[in-house]
């Protein structure tokens, strides 16, 4: 795979779909880039895709719901891989509100994507967003690359939408995380976590473990990461991988010469 590619949506519950794309990472493999569509009385989209996906992203959503019915677009954070189609989405979905943090709103404004205040519902960790039959609990993820990052726990499906946390660089696309060889998944998560959260090695063990215990207590049936194939019944393993990432030596940075060599060899 040498370009960003959208895959067919993966149904992970009767009314919940993963909108999956894979992005090549030269010399290292591929990175999943997921958004999530939660159907119901008040449909919710978690994250707004990558701008390069364009029509493909809209086609996948439109195959499941009418865009006029979309009630919320929840942004986990304002990074480009999460907000790419946001402006077009809010135009095409006039009844949708953007649910995100105050800081994410500010970042969007500074990036030239100011959203009218009446289209925004500000959520912060600790908030609960009621969307039809769903109660979406907003919480801070244990690792992140942007301070406004929020994870979402859907009490209906018992899914944890973990934002960038638990992401993994993989050797090839996979339908579920359990399809990836255990050692490769662990290395992929450790490598991604070092890239995404280079501060992690400076944290103290106790508070970091407490942030992992919060997830343990939620006991999600699946962890649905923005950069991980759906991971059912793997919570304890994945928490262990984050603990290892905290103490493991950082992966070697890719410098100019090695990147050019990898691109030429690819």
> Where along the sequence are the contacts to Fe ion (CB under 5 A)?
79, 81, 145, 164, 226
Q: Is 242 left (phi over 0), alpha (psi -120 to 50) or beta?
A: alpha
Q: Which is nearer to Fe ion, 97 or 149 (CB)?
A: 149
Q: How many CA atoms lie within 13 A of 71 on its CB side?
A: 13
CB of 41 to Fe ion, least distance (A): 29
The CB-nearest residue to Fe ion is: 79
CB of 76 to Fe ion, least distance (A): 8
Q: Which is nearer to Fe ion, 149 or 235 (CB)?
A: 149
- Cβ neighbourhood burial of 36 (10 Å; 0-12, 13-18, 19+): buried
CB of 106 to Fe ion, least distance (A): 16
Q: Could you give the CA distance from residue 202 to residue 179 in angstroms, rounded to a whole number?
A: 32
CB of 31 to Fe ion, least distance (A): 9
**Helix (H/G/I), strand (E/B), else coil: 165:** coil
CB of 79 to Fe ion, least distance (A): 4
How would DSSP label each residue in 96-160?
A: -EEEE-HHHHHHHHHTT----GGGEEE--TT-EEEETTEEEEEE--SS-SSTT--EEEETTTTEE
CB of 25 to Fe ion, least distance (A): 13
235's tokens? 């919570």
Q: 83 Cβ partners below 8 Å, 6+ apart?
A: 47, 48, 75, 108, 113
Q: Which is nearer to Fe ion, 42 or 164 (CB)?
A: 164
Query: Quick check: 6 and 18 in contact, CB under 8 A?
Result: no
Q: Which is nearer to Fe ion, 145 or 243 (CB)?
A: 145
Q: Which pairing describes strands 159-161 and 44-46: parallel, antiparallel, or unpaired?
A: unpaired
Q: Which is nearer to Fe ion, 81 or 186 (CB)?
A: 81
Q: Which is nearer to Fe ion, 150 or 226 (CB)?
A: 226
């Amino acid at each position: 795979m040498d370009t960003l590619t959208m895959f067919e949506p993966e149904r992970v519950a009767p009314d919940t779909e993963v909108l999956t794309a894979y992005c090549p990472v030269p010399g290292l493999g591929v990175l999943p880039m997921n958004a999530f569509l939660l159907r119901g009385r008040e449909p919710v989209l978690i994250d707004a895709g990558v701008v390069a996906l364009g029509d493909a992203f809209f086609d996948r959503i439109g195959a499941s719901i009418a865009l006029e019915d979309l009630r919320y677009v929840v942004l986990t954070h304002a990074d480009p891989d999460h907000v790419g189609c946001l402006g077009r989405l809010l135009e095409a979905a006039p009844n949708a509100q953007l649910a995100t943090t105050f800081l994410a709103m500010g970042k969007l404004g500074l990036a030239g994507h100011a959203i009218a205040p009446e289209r925004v519902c500000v959520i912060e960790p600790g908030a609960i967003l009621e969307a039809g039959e769903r109660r979406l609990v907003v919480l801070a993820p244990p690792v992140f690359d942007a301070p406004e990052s929020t994870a979402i726990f859907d009490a209906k499906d018992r899914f944890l939408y973990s934002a960038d946390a638990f992401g993994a660089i993989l050797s090839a696309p996979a339908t579920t995380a359990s399809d990836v060889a255990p050692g490769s998944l662990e290395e992929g998560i450790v490598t991604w976590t070092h890239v995404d959260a280079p501060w992690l090695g400076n944290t103290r063990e106790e508070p970091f473990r407490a942030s992992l215990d919060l997830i343990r207590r939620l006991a999600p049936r699946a962890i649905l990461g923005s950069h991980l194939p759906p991971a059912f019944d793997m919570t304890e393993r994945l928490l262990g991988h984050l603990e290892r990432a905290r103490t493991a030596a950082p992966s070697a940075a890719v410098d100019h010469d090695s990147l050019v060599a990898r691109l030429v060899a690819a």
